Amino acid sequence: MASASPPHRSVRAAWSNGGRVHAILAGMHRPGLPIRLLAAVASALAIALAACSQQPAHGDARVSGLMLDSQLSEISGLAVSNRHDDTLWMHDDGGNPPRLFAVDREGERVATFRVEGVPKTDWEDIAAFHQQGRDYLMLADTGDNGGLRRTLQLHVIEEPAKLENARLKPAWSIVFRWPDGPRDCEAVAVDERRGEVLLISKRRQPPELFRLPLTAQIDPPAVAERVARLRMPAALAPQSGTDERAPLSAQVTAASISPDGQRLAVLTYRYLLIYAKHPAEDWARAVVRPPRVLTLPWLPQAEAMGWDRDGRHVYTTGEFVPAPLYRIDVDADADKR
């Protein structure tokens, strides 16, 4: 007798054949699972699909895949691989083992890597970058919901040559502190051309932009340098009304620098902000100008985002399963002008 396909594979096949919401529910069906939960998931995913089947107010979002794997239920960081085609790197936040996931563009986990020799307090963003002919990933252990951490860590690992379950060790780490006391930070990006790390505070308004050198530093800890406060559009100010995401609209949850080094994408719970800079200027000047604002499609707890290698699209997903994996064309509006 032939062995049955794993549930997530059959669900994804059904999805690609057009039975999208029904396929997800079929994959989720388990004895004793509340009908109300299934109905809620069906409704939420129908909203997501409707959002992607119509022209969004800003940008052009398409569902690239579905995150159905329970191991991917708390994704807090995402970066597109520079070494492996059609591969995204993801990790989850605190409370889980120190692990890194290779995920394909359909949202299926390809391999799991255990990261050895480093603690995991609250991993947030991931950044992919090149240095001296090698491809690296930065894992940002910078979350601090309680505002209690005196030092934080950035761990750099080389992208593995094979997408097979294995153990990895950091090539180097950066231990740092803030100049004036703790703050929560979920957005970290690497500017490989300038040799620096950018960090954006989450809750303080307007968000603060800091930088650090992209070099190993452990003892004493490096001190992050505050260089600017981000210009935030009026649309991100907390609003009254029925939109449950409004109070979180300006909280920054991820950041990523485009492959050409000229655009900084900043994710909030509701919007994607694109800050552009001129080749000769630094980010401190760029982020004080008004960004382009793209409204996100339906995505509760949007916490992971990264540029695609084409420099035109970004991927984003949320911290739950099942979750859509979106690919957003950030230049779609410009093409229509």
CATH for 313: 2.120.10.30
**10 and 156, same structural domain?**
no
Query: CA-CA distance, 316 to 267, in Å (whole number)?
Result: 9
**286 and 176, same structural domain?**
yes
The pLDDT value given to residue 247: 59
Token reading at 237: 């100010």
**Cβ neighbours of residue 93 under 8 Å, at least 6 residues apart?**
74, 76, 122, 123, 124, 143, 319
* Residue where a domain stops, chosen among 35, 54, 73: 54
**325 and 292, same structural domain?**
yes
CB 227 within 8 A of CB 284: yes
Query: CA-CA distance, 205 to 229, in Å (whole number)?
Result: 8
Nearest to 188 by CA among 178, 175, 201: 201
**170 and 146, same structural domain?**
yes
Query: CA-CA distance, 311 to 101, in Å (whole number)?
Result: 23
**151 and 36, same structural domain?**
no
Query: CA-CA distance, 109 to 202, in Å (whole number)?
Result: 28
CB 148 within 8 A of CB 121: no
Total domains in the fold of the chain: 2
Nearest to 333 by CA among 305, 303, 295: 295
Tokens 């800091």 map to which residue? 210
- 202 strand-pairing partners: none
Dihedral Cα 277, 287, 336, 318, nearest 10 deg: 120
The boundaries of the domain holding residue 275 are 55-335
Tokens 């569902």 map to which residue? 63
Token reading at 249: 């609209």
**112 and 41, same structural domain?**
no
The pLDDT value given to residue 53: 45
**221 and 128, same structural domain?**
yes
The pLDDT value given to residue 189: 99
**301 and 244, same structural domain?**
yes
**Cβ neighbours of residue 270 under 8 Å, at least 6 residues apart?**
236, 245, 246, 248, 249, 295, 296, 302
The pLDDT value given to residue 20: 46
**What is this structure's pTM?**
0.85
Tokens 């991917």 map to which residue? 72
Q: Regarding beta strands 217-223 and 172-177, do their DSSP bridges make them parallel or antiparallel, or are they unpaired?
A: parallel
**77 and 42, same structural domain?**
no
CA atoms within 13 A on the CB side of 27: 26
**166 and 49, same structural domain?**
no
Token reading at 208: 């603060």
21: phi then psi, degrees, rounded to nearest 5: -65, -40
**147 and 47, same structural domain?**
no
Q: Regarding beta strands 208-213 and 196-201, do their DSSP bridges make them parallel or antiparallel, or are they unpaired?
A: antiparallel
The pLDDT value given to residue 3: 42
**118 and 94, same structural domain?**
yes
Query: CA-CA distance, 301 to 319, in Å (whole number)?
Result: 6
Query: From first to last of its 337 residues, what are the pLDDT tens digits of the chain?
Result: 444 444 455 445 444 444 444 444 444 444 454 555 455 555 555 555 554 444 444 468 999 999 999 999 999 999 999 999 999 999 998 788 999 999 999 999 999 999 999 999 999 999 999 999 999 999 999 999 999 999 999 999 999 999 999 999 999 999 999 999 999 999 999 999 999 999 999 999 899 999 999 999 999 999 999 999 999 988 676 554 555 554 578 899 999 999 999 999 999 999 999 999 999 999 999 999 999 999 999 998 999 999 999 999 999 999 999 999 999 999 987 666 5
